[in-house]
């Protein structure tokens, strides 16, 4: 990968992260992209900031792995990001069911059977439900 392509990928990652350039996460992401790894103490003393930073990496679909007290990019993470996210084709959704209209009611009512509320009409001659 040429340095120009790497800078293009870094710019795309920083732009698609939707982080403010003055935020801790933006500076942490730039350090991660430059050096390949970052320790959670360099972001903040608060561990929840590091957890939120990993959520940003998940949102970006950037491949990373946890190391002792930090995060490191996988060896081909930038190249995989370029291939799948930047220039990847959108995946087609395959429908698991046939597209045919579903009937909303019965085609023909069954007058000889009780309906959905098990109601019987008074003109029927059934003595089983007499009180």
Could you tell me if 43 and 28 are in contact, meaning their C-beta atoms sit under 8 angstroms apart? yes
The pLDDT > 90 percentage for the chain reads 49
For residue 95, pLDDT beyond 80: no
Residue bearing the bigger pLDDT, 109 or 85: 85
Distance (Å) of CA 123 to CA 110, 116, 120, 126 = 16, 19, 8, 9
Given pLDDT bands bounded at 50, 70 and 90, which one contains residue 89? confident
47-60 helix and 24-35 helix, angle to the nearest 10 degrees: 70
The pLDDT > 70 percentage for the chain reads 73
Could you tell me if 65 and 104 are in contact, meaning their C-beta atoms sit under 8 angstroms apart? no
Residue bearing the bigger pLDDT, 65 or 130: 65
Q: What is the pLDDT of residue 109?
A: 59
Q: What's the pLDDT tens digit per position in 18-38? A: 999 999 999 999 999 999 999
Mean pLDDT value across residues 68-85: 91
Q: What is the pLDDT of residue 52?
A: 92
The whole-angstrom separation of Cα 64 and Cα 37 is 9
The SS3 call for residue 8 is helix
The whole-angstrom separation of Cα 52 and Cα 100 is 44
- pTM, entire model: 0.65
Alpha helices in 20-104 (DSSP H): 24-35, 40-43, 47-60, 77-81
Can you give the residue ranges of every domain in the chain? 3-86
């Amino acid at each position: 990968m040429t340095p120009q392509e790497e800078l293009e990928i870094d710019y795309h990652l920083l732009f698609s992260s939707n982080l403010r350039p003055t935020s801790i996460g933006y500076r942490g992401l730039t350090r991660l992209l430059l050096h390949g790894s970052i320790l959670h103490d360099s972001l903040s003393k608060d561990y929840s900031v590091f957890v939120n930073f990993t959520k940003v990496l998940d949102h970006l679909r950037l491949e990373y792995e946890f190391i002792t007290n930090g995060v490191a990019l996988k060896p081909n993470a930038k190249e995989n990001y370029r291939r799948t996210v930047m220039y990847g084709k959108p995946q087609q959704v395959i429908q698991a069911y046939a597209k045919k209209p579903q009937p909303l009611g019965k085609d023909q009512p069954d007058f000889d059977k009780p309906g959905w509320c098990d109601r019987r009409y008074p003109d029927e001659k059934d003595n089983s439900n007499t009180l």
